[in-house]
A and B are shown apart, each in its own frame.
Chain A
Amino acid sequence: AQSVTQLDSHVSVSEGTPVLLRCNYSSSYSPSLFWYVQHPNKGLQLLLKYTSAATLVKGINGFEAEFKKSETSFHLTKPSAHMSDAAEYFCVVSRINDYKLSFGAGTTVTVRA
């Protein structure tokens, strides 16, 4: 079965410093991987996606993620955090054959002024 593990439930950073959110995946085939962001009481917004093209994926709002097959990881980074980045982030993997998704437990990001 396909699954993801988000290694940090909570990450706190200072404004202007880098952000790193860690995600490991488990899949018996080459998966599609995604990062979503959710601000309080809002729906989920797609940040970026990996679908077997370039391993370094650039997304919206300055985020990017690198697919590393040897490490089964898909970590999300941003060089400089902004206050508006405070939100919950979900790492997501596609499930085989049925177009459903498996979600990680989420990482809450706090940005300190």
Chain B
Amino acid sequence: SQTIHQWPATLVQPVGSPLSLECTVEGTSNPNLYWYRQAAGRGLQLLFYSVGIGQISSEVPQNLSASRPQDRQFILSSKKLLLSDSGFYLCAWSDGQRYEQYFGPGTRLTVT
């Protein structure tokens, strides 16, 4: 069966510091991968989308970037965090032939 991991689970970082969040998927190959942000009291915002290694689509311009160095690894990064980057970050995967997405446990990021 497929499993998706995210780490860290929680993170507190000062403004201006760098960020690296990691997501890995097990039990499947060539998945579509997604990064979402969920701000307090708000819905899910799709940040990045990847259909393969090195292929990243950005949904909204922002202070963040994403990379996919391996087939089942997806990384969310920032060079300098802003207060507005605080939120709950969710990674998800889907089979390239199906629509439903499966979500990881999330990372709670607080920028102070």
If A43-B90, A99-B32, A99-B94 touch, does A90 touch B43 (CB 8 Å cutoff)?
yes
Given contacts A41-B88, A41-B108, contact A103 B44 (CB under 8 A): yes
Q: Is there an interface contact between B105 and A43, defined as CB atoms closer than 8 Å?
A: yes
- Cβ of B112 within 8 Å of any chain A Cβ, yes or no, is no
Task: Give the complex CA separation of A106 and B45 in angstroms.
Answer: 13
Please provide the chain A residues from 71 to 88 with a CB less than 8 Å away from any CB of chain B in the complex: none
Give A10 Cβ to nearest chain B Cβ, in Å. Answer: 12
Out of A42, A101, A105, A106, name the residue touching B99 (CB < 8 Å).
Answer: A101
Neighbouring B residues of A98 by C-beta, 8 Å = 49
Q: Which residues of B contact A (CB under 8 A)?
A: 6, 32, 34, 43-44, 46, 49, 88, 90, 92, 94, 96, 99-106, 108
